[in-house]
Structure 1
Amino acid sequence: MLQVNYIRENKEKVLERLAVRNFKQPELIDQIIATDDQRRQTQASLDKISAEANAAAKQIGELMRSGRKEEAEAIKANTAGHKEQVRELGERMSQFETSLHQLIVQVPNLPHDLVSKGSTAEENDVVLVHGQPAVLDNAALPHWELAAKYDIIDFELGNKITGAGFPVYKGKGARLQRALINFFLDRAVEHGYNEVQVPHLVNEASGFGTGQLPDKEGQMYHAAVDNLFLIPTAEVPVTNLYRDVILKEESLPVRHTAYTPCFRREAGSYGAHVRGLNRLHQFDKVELVQINHPEKSYETLEEMNTYVQSLLQDLGLHYRVLRLCGGDMGFTSAMTYDMEVWSGAQQRWLEVSSVSNFETYQSNRLKLRFKGKEGKTQLAHTLNGSALALPRIVAAILENYQTPEGIKVPEALVRYTGFDLIS
């Protein structure tokens, strides 16, 4: 969430950067400033009346103690309306604060200066391409056919139990999943991330803190009886560990990793491009979350970008890195890198990770601050990234490592799977 003072003091820059996102409601900025003007004026009136009321109360007390009752009663009569004025102004303040909040939560984060203007994924900037596509013969199969051939993932059984988008992993398919989760977690811990296990349901305050609410409630599964939401990513509960927390500067950076299942309704997602593991309602993911000093957050973003790439290199996958254009970024992000792996049998790129810097957008909602050595308190920067999301990684491994004998297991995973071939 943007800060009101920043919007007031940097109106033209705010509008300029929102245009990079193709933001369709620039009039909100003027409405925010106008509402804040009314709030400030009301606050000034409230402070003035409250000060007068306090001064009068003090004077009345002194007069009564000195036996000057008539003078005290006269002042009391003259200030009789103060209490009602304070009540009315307090109600107006509450209304303006509510209106201001409702307006400002509709404004997305401002893109970093390096983020280019654009509307669609086709306008994203390709930062680098690593490796070469796997050489497959003309008989190469897509992962959903390989899953059926080797009986390792059952989409129909998941459909029977729950519905489309909830596959059942079987035998070596389940062990491959577990191997990837352990590999990703172990690598994260080796690189200094502290592993945590967190709830898979969150309350409204947590959803608001990281920006899923009120923007994405239609994409989350809602347990209405208890008003809880199934997490779309571990980013939500992990980042909310620090809601309403003031950290010490010397404790930065805070680095966490967590494995969780993720739940997304993916409303409106249909067609061949979502077949098999390409898009699911439930999937597994290992997440990275960092909290850092504003002066170091973009250095941290590049470090996280490089780290995620190292995982893809260890798995021997052909991938590319994109810096998302303004129109393709998430609502809360200031800059995002996407990592995509090449699907050999489908002949298309599959997104497997997003690494983002939210600057102070989340921390302002979370009231997540740190205190510097000089005692000054300021908002921290938050970052997160997938390291990695499993479904499309599994799809890429199945497709790119298929041979006439079976599916080879990437060397980095063999010590986790206990086998080197799915046949």
Structure 2
Amino acid sequence: MHDIRAIREAPEAFDAALARRGESGVTAELLHLDEKRRESILAAETAQAEQNRAAKEVGAAKARGDEAEFERLRDLVARKKSEISTLQEQARTLDAALADKLARIPNLPADDVPDGADETDNIEVNRWGERRDFGFAPKEHFEIKGAAAGMDFETAARTSGARFVNLGRGVARIHRALAQFMLDTHISENGLTEVNCPVLVRPEAMFGTDKLPKFGGDSYETTNGWWLVPTSEVPLTYSVADQILRADDLPIRLTAHTVCFRSEAGSAGKDTKGMLRQHQFEKVEMVSITRPEDSEAEHRRMLRCAENLLERLEVPYRTVLLCTGDMGFGARRTYDVEAWLPGQDTYREISSVSTTGAFQARRMNARFRPAAGDKPQFVHTLNGSGLAVGRTLIAVLENGQQEDGSVRLPAVLAPYLGGRTMLSIDGNLI
């Protein structure tokens, strides 16, 4: 969310920054609403002062026995009371309209974010790992014999519809092992604190983490008005809402493994085969709450946390800096880590690591006090996938596939699989 005072002070700069994201002519309407709102507030305050003066004079007129003046003043007090009520309601309406407009404006991009229209304008900043020479035509994950034996799309479709899957046999255990490996690494090596958090949240939490009001169609609302989380970024980040933290408490670094839900609105016809794009999936999330001066370094640190997981899983990847046209609504800067999927002969996103600056903090009123007696400031919030479990499973299966349909598994997973290192063609671990 944006500060109307900052927009008021530098409207041209605000418009120029938003133009990089394809938004134009925003400040004129905002400033018009803001001016009308402030006029209503001032008029209400003026009327209140006039009412107060008249109310004091009513008693004096009565004491003097000036009946005509007494009646005039009493009528004036009544008229001012009605006028104040009308002006205050007008101010509330304008304030709500302004807040709604501000809530629908995306974050301003950082200066180093490249301008661009879509993913073709993203900039590659890192690449790791040698793409394996298979000696045969590699298959997509759902075509590999051993993997296909543990993926039941038909039963899931009968139960829940398209874009769901039942995992079984060794595939289910690998999926669970991946999530455990990610969590253990974040907790033991990356300094994150594990949280077992709800996957049902109130609309205030969705708003505070910029998922509402503009993108409600991308998520699932329950019949009682709660929302299924699109990612545990929502409950983790919102955990500091309406708080004034101590500077010594920062940074706060959290991680959670949860089921996530997305409607995949607008993705009709995309990735319809396999489990790349699902309505229900699992993810291990990273969230950091920092002081403003520390958020840039924290962004780089979180990116390395995500990249290191893929390196240890022996999955080649590349990292791209997203352009202004491809960034998410709340992001100030985003790096996507894309795993190499030989079955598709391309890199696919497996983690997005974003800094939002104070954008989310202002929406949920999350602040910290730099020192005793100092005025509270907004914290900075960052989030990133560490990693998307299902997509990591796909990457592990495709990169480890053998010509006979079995899969060689990363050595780092062996402790989580009872020492087993292969997925056989019948879907069992050996």
**What interval of TM-score do these two structures reach, taking the shorter chain for normalisation?**
over 0.9
In structure 1, what is the equivalent of residue 181 of structure 2? 183
Q: Which amino acid aligns with 2:219?
A: M
In structure 2, what is the equivalent of residue 422 of structure 1? 423
Check 1:144–1:8 CA distance in 2 against 1; reply closer, same or farther (3 A cut). same
Q: 1:159 aligns with which of 157, 160, 163?
A: 157
Is the CA contact 1:147–1:154 (under 8 Å) kept in the aligned structure 2? no
CA distance in 1, matches of 2:325, 2:284: 26
In structure 1, what is the equivalent of residue 427 of structure 2? none
**How far 1:146 sits from its partner (Å)?**
1.4
Asked if residue 172 in structure 1 is aligned to residue 173 in structure 2, the reply is no
In structure 1, what is the equivalent of residue 227 of structure 2? 229
Alignment of 1:403-422 (within 5 A): 403-404=402-403, 406-418=406-418, 419-422=420-423
**How far 1:116 sits from its partner (Å)?**
1.2
Q: Which amino acid aligns with 1:400?
A: N
CA distance in 2, matches of 1:56, 1:249: 49
Alignment of 1:20-169 (within 5 A): 20-23=20-23, 26-58=24-56, 60=58, 63=60, 67-68=63-64, 70=66, 73=70, 75-146=73-144, 151-169=149-167
Measured on the aligned residues, the alpha-carbon RMSD in Å equals 1.9
CA distance in 2, matches of 1:69, 1:57: 16
**How far 1:42 sits from its partner (Å)?**
1.2
Check 1:205–1:5 CA distance in 2 against 1; reply closer, same or farther (3 A cut). same
Q: Secondary structure at the match of 2:162?
A: coil
CA distance in 2, matches of 1:31, 1:185: 46
Q: Which amino acid aligns with 2:19?
A: A
Q: Which amino acid aligns with 1:364?
A: R
Check 1:379–1:59 CA distance in 2 against 1; reply closer, same or farther (3 A cut). farther
**How far 1:220 sits from its partner (Å)?**
1.1
CA distance in 2, matches of 1:417, 1:215: 43
Check 1:27–1:136 CA distance in 2 against 1; reply closer, same or farther (3 A cut). same
Q: Secondary structure at the match of 1:359?
A: coil
Of 167-176 and 141-150, more deviation after overlay is shown by: 141-150
CA distance in 1, matches of 2:269, 2:37: 49
Give the alignment's TM-score, normalised by structure 2: 0.92
**How far 1:54 sits from its partner (Å)?**
2.8
Of 138-147 and 324-333, more deviation after overlay is shown by: 138-147
CA distance in 1, matches of 2:265, 2:333: 25
Q: Secondary structure at the match of 1:327?
A: coil
Asked if residue 315 in structure 1 is aligned to residue 324 in structure 2, the reply is no
Check 1:147–1:238 CA distance in 2 against 1; reply closer, same or farther (3 A cut). farther
Q: Which amino acid aligns with 1:421?
A: M
Q: 2:237 aligns with which of 236, 239, 245?
A: 239
Is the CA contact 1:278–1:350 (under 8 Å) kept in the aligned structure 2? no
CA distance in 2, matches of 1:358, 1:201: 23
Of 40-49 and 318-327, more deviation after overlay is shown by: 40-49
Alignment of 1:198-347 (within 5 A): 198-223=197-222, 225-271=223-269, 273-347=271-345
Is the CA contact 1:343–1:396 (under 8 Å) kept in the aligned structure 2? yes
Is the CA contact 2:147–2:171 (under 8 Å) kept in the aligned structure 1? no
**How far 1:150 sits from its partner (Å)?**
5.5
Q: Which amino acid aligns with 1:413?
A: L
Of 369-378 and 148-157, more deviation after overlay is shown by: 148-157
Structure 1: 5+ residue runs without aligned partners?
none
Q: Deviations over 1:106-127 (max 9, x none)?
A: 2111011111111110100111
Check 1:69–1:100 CA distance in 2 against 1; reply closer, same or farther (3 A cut). farther
Of 45-54 and 27-36, more deviation after overlay is shown by: 45-54
CA distance in 1, matches of 2:284, 2:187: 12
CA distance in 2, matches of 1:78, 1:149: 82
In structure 2, what is the equivalent of residue 6 of structure 1? 6
Is the CA contact 1:136–1:400 (under 8 Å) kept in the aligned structure 2? no
Q: Give the % identical residues.
A: 36
**How far 1:52 sits from its partner (Å)?**
2.8
CA distance in 1, matches of 2:410, 2:54: 80
Q: Deviations over 1:368-406 (max 9, x none)?
A: 111221320121111100000012211111111112462
CA distance in 1, matches of 2:65, 2:104: 56
Q: Deviations over 1:164-197 (max 9, x none)?
A: 2111111111111111111111111122211111
CA distance in 1, matches of 2:246, 2:316: 41
Is the CA contact 1:42–1:89 (under 8 Å) kept in the aligned structure 2? yes
Q: Which amino acid aligns with 1:317?
A: V
Q: Secondary structure at the match of 1:342?
A: strand
Asked if residue 197 in structure 1 is aligned to residue 196 in structure 2, the reply is yes
Is the CA contact 1:260–1:285 (under 8 Å) kept in the aligned structure 2? yes
CA distance in 1, matches of 2:148, 2:94: 62
**How far 1:81 sits from its partner (Å)?**
2.1
Q: Which amino acid aligns with 1:14?
A: F
CA distance in 1, matches of 2:143, 2:275: 11
Of 317-326 and 235-244, more deviation after overlay is shown by: 235-244
CA distance in 2, matches of 1:381, 1:179: 32
Q: Secondary structure at the match of 1:355?
A: strand
Give the alignment's TM-score, normalised by structure 1: 0.94
Is the CA contact 2:146–2:423 (under 8 Å) kept in the aligned structure 1? no
**How far 1:58 sits from its partner (Å)?**
4.4
**How far 1:268 sits from its partner (Å)?**
3.0
CA distance in 2, matches of 1:394, 1:149: 10
**How far 1:261 sits from its partner (Å)?**
0.8
Q: Secondary structure at the match of 1:242?
A: coil
